[in-house]
Chains A and B, each alone.
Chain A
Amino acid sequence: QVQLVQSGPEVKKPGASVKVSCKTSGYIFTRYDISWVRQAPGQGPEWLGWISVSNGDTNYAQGIEGRVTMTTDTSTSTAYMELRSLRFDDTAVYYCTREIRGTYDSWFDPWGQGTLVTVSS
């Protein structure tokens, strides 16, 4: 079955960087794009951006595009999301998710289990 397994929780100081991994299995990695979504405590999800696994193109959300980098390693079917210059309000659970494209639209399925990133001094 399709699985996305993320790396473990991280605790970082303000100003530091964090890199979260998302190892996929159960499907052909290069046929689907990967999006990253975060969810702060008690809040709704926030889309961070998307990477085309087939060609490496990226589309980052406005407001975070200068601090985030999304990459993939096709040899290990793993996606990565790096966030720099961490702030307290970056504390959230970070999810990777596979984007499935229909004829005119798309949706996310499935999601990784989530990685808690805590920014604390």
Chain B
Amino acid sequence: QSVLTQPPSASGTPGQRVTISCSGSSSNIGINTVNWYQQLPGTAPKLLIYSDNQRPSGVPDRFSGSRSDTSASLAISGLQSEDEADYYCAAWDDSLNGWVFGGGTKLTVL
């Protein structure tokens, strides 16, 4: 059971906007920034968003992140077939003194 809670699945059609939520607590998301990772089938996770809303070089601006209170969100606009992947949120947890992850959201592009 993951410390951060994500919906197990999400879907959308090409061109649509999809949002994935990540719920935590006062010891993690409530006081620390959130990072998002994209994992394509059979590959290692890849950094998608860091520090709540920053995109690494090479990540399209279709991807955006936000954080409020003890929750965070990843938004993907202009959905494309290559966005079909698993998405994970992560944050440092001050009580556990370690990183915690969400259980992941499998995004399907219909």
Contact = CB atoms under 8 A, between A and B. Distances in A.
A61 B56 contact: no
B102 A44 contact: yes
A44 B45 CA distance: 11
Given A61-B98, A105-B92, A45 B45 contact: yes
Interface stretch (A24-32, A79-87, A111-119): A111-119
Contact of A108 (B2, B35, B43, B100): B35
Contacts of A113: 43-44
A-side binding surface: helix, strand, loop or mixed? strand
Nearest to A99: B99
Nearest to A105: B33
Taking residues whose C-beta sits less than 8 angstroms from the other chain, chain A's interface range is: 20 to 34
Contacts of A112: 44
Interface of B: 2, 32-33, 35, 37, 43-47, 50-51, 56, 88, 90, 92, 96-104
14 contacts: A43-B104, A44-B2, A44-B88, A44-B103, A45-B37, A62-B98, A104-B33, A106-B92, A107-B35, A108-B35, A108-B37, A109-B50, A111-B45, A111-B46
